[in-house]
Structure 1
Amino acid sequence: ILMRILVIEDERALAGFIEQTLRQHGFAASVAGTLAEARTLLTQPFDAVICDRRLPDGDGLDLVKELRAAGNHVPLLMLTALGLPKERVSGLEAGADDYLPKPFSLFELLARVKALLRRSGGPAGLLLELGNVQLDTLHETVQVAGKTVALGKREVVLLRHLLQRAGQVVGKDVLEQALYGDTDEKSRTALEVAIHRLRKMLTSVNASVNVVTVRGIGYLLEDTAK
């Protein structure tokens, strides 16, 4: 089960970048462009909320106050172009847990979301597991048969995407996008090299899973113990 993050942002391009970043790092993301859409979505549980201040139908702070008044203490990160200290203070006093002024780095936003989840204790459901392999998506740590193993960042990203769809084929384009985004690092062999490193690591620690190549389509992770 993936952690669910609600992104409340009316700038479509920015909302798309945030959503993509969250998904690439193992979260399930939903986007609302207005307070009305957010209120509808918030009838469902979320593990964290990212909310802009200035929205077409009101101030994001009003939603924060509503949530807190209703006893909803979901971790909440405010985004705003209003970067003055008094604006940040007003947001925190209204019940926001953190404040990030625009413009910001998507990596900083991701780090702040993870920090909020850690401080809140984080719900169950952060672990992806197949066979004797377990990946903590929040802390990005991997264990095999109960022992922590060291993986590079790209191998962790690959393993996370394969575990999320264990037993199903994950397309090459999906994995390449997760690893390299729109950078120039992509090549015909880059993904194959990363897959090779992941396979080598899994074999070296006697993992009971295997990365299977589905020629011309992608890869899938299978439990070899079954």
Structure 2
Amino acid sequence: MRRILVLEDEFFLLDSMTRYLRGMADVRVYGYSTLKAACQGLRDHPPDLVFSDIRLPDGSGLGLIKEMQQLGTAAPLVFISAYSADHRHAIPNSGNITVLEKPVSLKKLRDLAEQKLRRPDESGEFQFDLSDYLQIAAMGRHSVRISCGDYGAIVILEGQPWHAEDTAGQGTPAFNRIVANWETHKQEVPVICSQQDVGTAGPQTLIGTLDGLLLDALRAFDEAGRDAETPAEPALADAGDFDRCYECGVEAMLDRDYVVAHKAFAAAAKMQPNNGLVRANLERLGVLIEQQAG
């Protein structure tokens, strides 16, 4: 049984995240709304994966980094915050730490959890991500060519990003496309790292630091995925499924589509009229709809 720790101070979002993640097989989810409670949870129920907000009522979610280090917990840590850009300078550059901007859909949350909890392959070794290869090359000041199947290649020269090329072009746009294709098809795309001769590296087409290029590429990938998510409004009145209506309401709230969210929670309220959380969300949405109209 794998354990997931979720730290989120917005109760409706904490409830939705834990509820949705509990739908995964062989997973136990522990939800906390304060940093203090989450730190205790790290000791009581050592997690295999952590999702955390950053701005909390009793401190910063970044405090989990030090706490996990002291406890020797090597679980992947995913920060999800609307203010992540304000805190990136304080977040260590580690392949074990992921930073996402709110809002994050529940489907993407569970897909990420399944990816992070994936066990080692049959060889007993973990597969490196593209970013791992790039960062290892940068830290070791290596000169390498990193090829991602047929999607293109990135050249690191003496630890510095030098060149990227794919079938559509080169430079930063090619770098972004290679990263996006890797993130989309990572289970199918082999990564091959070979030594690059400095004298045959060709002209430089990448400008900037590796961290900056990766951050921009991943942000563009996340935004493209978010824009592509255009969930159709379900036939809520006929759904007859409380969890489906509830999750639809949460998704719509995250997308700031308050009218659809209100319809979803209203349908959920018909099925569970005494559910206090549903009633609270309906009241909140009534205010938000009025503010949006005004």
Q: TM-score, normalised by structure 1?
A: 0.49
* Higher RCO, Cα 8 Å, sep 6+: 1
Q: TM-score, normalised by structure 2?
A: 0.39
